[in-house]
Amino acid sequence: MALGNRLKTARTKKGLSQQQLADIVGMTQAAIGALEKRDSHQSSKVAELAKATEVNIEWLASGSGPMDRNQVAEPQATYGVSGATQPSANSDELEFFGHMDAWDSNTPLGEDEIELPLFREVELAAGGGQTQVIENHGAKLRFAKSTLSRAGVVPENAACAFVRGNSMEPVMPDGTCVGVNTGDKTIRDGEIYAIDHDGMLRVKFLHRRPGGGIKIVSQNGMEHPTEEYSVSDIAAASIRVIGRVFWWSVLR
């Protein structure tokens, strides 16, 4: 069963029309209809669609496990980062689109596993609070190759980062870990990207603007207003697209 068929099943069981589901997740009714009809195996909206229809995200994404998220007997996975500070959490459970295992640097990789580098901010030697974004190959996160394959991401282009602050709540709370496809930097309106904004690592919705500019949008628009930059502004503000976000964990 393809993703479209599972989505239709979940939507029908929840008692939602295509328009109602579209309104919840920020899509159009036509987009929902097209997704349900075509033989699709992935969608950038899978986490939001699973939340709206109250089904397990792994079931919706791949057909694995039970459909009802309340039937999960055990946590699907936990994660750990070797050599890096982990985000604090007061919850007991993590929900993942994909599979990751708790590990340390001495644990051998499984056949379906790969180590991904971690993007982070580091303070420059000059101090003064100025930072730069680096790809830290010393701190890595264990990830499933099968998840990358489902998302169409080449392993060498995959990396991870942590979301800080509340600008992307409730979709991505503070401490959320995201998977980034560094081989996909072309901006598609409404997709989520990791960007280097003058040394600050940010995860935002991006939209193209006429003349080559961009619009940066936060999920939490009440506290974080939309930002617009022309081509010259982008250069002056040192904005660089690191890659498109293809996966994220959701802290409960």
Model pLDDT for residues 12-47, shown as the tens digit of each residue: 999 999 999 988 988 888 888 888 876 555 556 777
Is residue 91 located within the same domain as residue 199? Answer: yes
- Note whether 37 and 110 are same-domain residues: no
pLDDT at 139: 58
Report the pLDDT value the prediction gives residue 47, as an integer from 0 to 100.
Answer: 79
Question: Is residue 204 domain-shared with residue 131, that is, in the same domain?
Answer: yes
Say whether both 94 and 201 belong to one domain.
yes
Domain co-membership, 55 together with 96: no
| Residue 106, φ and ψ in degrees, nearest 5 | -95, -5
Q: How far apart are CA 187 and CA 146, in angstroms?
A: 25
What does the pLDDT average to over 80-98? 34
- The pLDDT value given to residue 129: 61
Structural tokens at position 217: 């949008």
Whether residue 197 sits in one domain with residue 146? yes
Q: Residue 73 is encoded by which pair of tokens?
A: 């007997």
**What's the rounded Cα separation, in Å, for the pair 204 and 110?**
33
Looking at per-residue pLDDT, the higher value among 219 and 4 belongs to: 219
The answer to whether the beta carbons of residues 138 and 81 sit under 8 Å apart is no
Q: What is the pLDDT of residue 144?
A: 80
pLDDT of residue 5: 86
User: In sequence order, which residues have a C-beta less than 8 Å from that of residue 121 and are 6 or more positions away?
Assistant: 131, 132, 133, 134, 199, 200, 201
- Same domain? 164 vs 237: yes
Kindly state the tokens that stand for 248: 């994220």
Report phi then psi at 134, rounded to 5: -130, 155
Grade residue 115 by pLDDT with cuts at 50, 70 and 90.
Answer: confident
Report the share of the chain in percent with pLDDT over 70.
73
- Find the angle CA(81)-CA(85)-CA(86) to the nearest 5 degrees: 65
Are 17 and 59 found together in one domain?
yes
Phi, psi of 145 (to 5 degrees): -60, -35
Answer whether residue 62 is part of any domain.
Answer: yes
CB 207 within 8 A of CB 191: no
Dig out the tokens for 194 from the structure: 């990791």
Domain encompassing residue 93: 81-251
Average pLDDT for 203-227 = 93
Report in angstroms the alpha-carbon separations of 40 from 3, 167, 184.
6, 31, 19
Per the structure block, which two tokens stand in for 1? 């069963």
Q: How many domains does the chain have?
A: 2
- Residue 199 scores a pLDDT above 70: yes
Task: Tell me: do 114 and 189 sit in the same domain.
Answer: yes
